[in-house]
A and B are shown apart, each in its own frame.
Chain A
Amino acid sequence: MYPNFVLPAPLQGVAVVTLVSVVACALACDARASRPAIEPSAGDQELSARVSAIVERIRLLEPRLLRDLPPEVKIVQWRNRRP
């Protein structure tokens, strides 16, 4: 799915490489680097602002992930498509 993306070392060997695993790994590594945690936002903050904060953090941690997103994942798929 992400042919150009080189897996972080902690994920090499997992059963299924997923975006969840890549993002979880990046955020966990970041937490270990003692970066201040961001307070989880409640519904009162604009959704778009919350998503922007996520994107910026991921861009900082794993810029290749955003750069290598294939075009097909930018389309919402029919419900009987495979995962």
Chain B
Amino acid sequence: MLQIKSLTKSFDGFKAVNNANLDVQKGEIVAVIGPNGAGKTTLFNLITGVLRPDSGEVLFKGDNITGLAPHEICRKRISRSFQVVNVFNRLSIFENTQISILSRERKTWNLFTPSSKLAVDETNELLRNVGLYERRDRISGALSHGDRKVLEIAMALGGNPEFLILDEPTAGMSPEETSRCIDLIQSLREKFGLTILFCEHDMEIVFGIASRIMVMVRGASIVQGTCEEVRCNEAVQDAYLGGSDVCLM
């Protein structure tokens, strides 16, 4: 479904992403892992149009989406959540999610109907699906960190995506929040038939839900394979553990 070929991006001579490759099949959950600074977020930014690559291609369902603007990529039904919570802080949970849905429904040029009357049912349903319905009138700037991360995901879902990119969805969450989030992701995937690409630092999660893993080190993709293949791969061990002779985990 998603193909990344030889993607490269430099900043002032520093190669943040160096000839990265990635394949994601429909319906899979693929994880991108790597040490800090390996370029995972940059890779996501390149896919979603926040940055333009210096060279390489991104193909989605056969179409070349390299270099498209973020709002155009969203229209292709690729949605994304951010590592650092990126919501509309002054608005409530309901309003945040509603905007996402209104955007998908192309109602953003409507100047006269009060927002309070539009897309109410769809917004409420989405909020129920992610478990934020009871708190829907709270201002998002004042929520707990875990709730804000879930709101991130809710907003990404508002676009009715086929492909969901999650940048460290459980970062900063407590253990209960984390397991709830993981359950949520898996149930959403089943319910909506999503293909998911995510990155995480928590290896338990990665090996728990990912069907395949891509490992990035210093901007390059050094290996792509199943959990087993990655766990015992020498290059990965070198990168993470400095060459000791154990299988990861």
A binds B: no
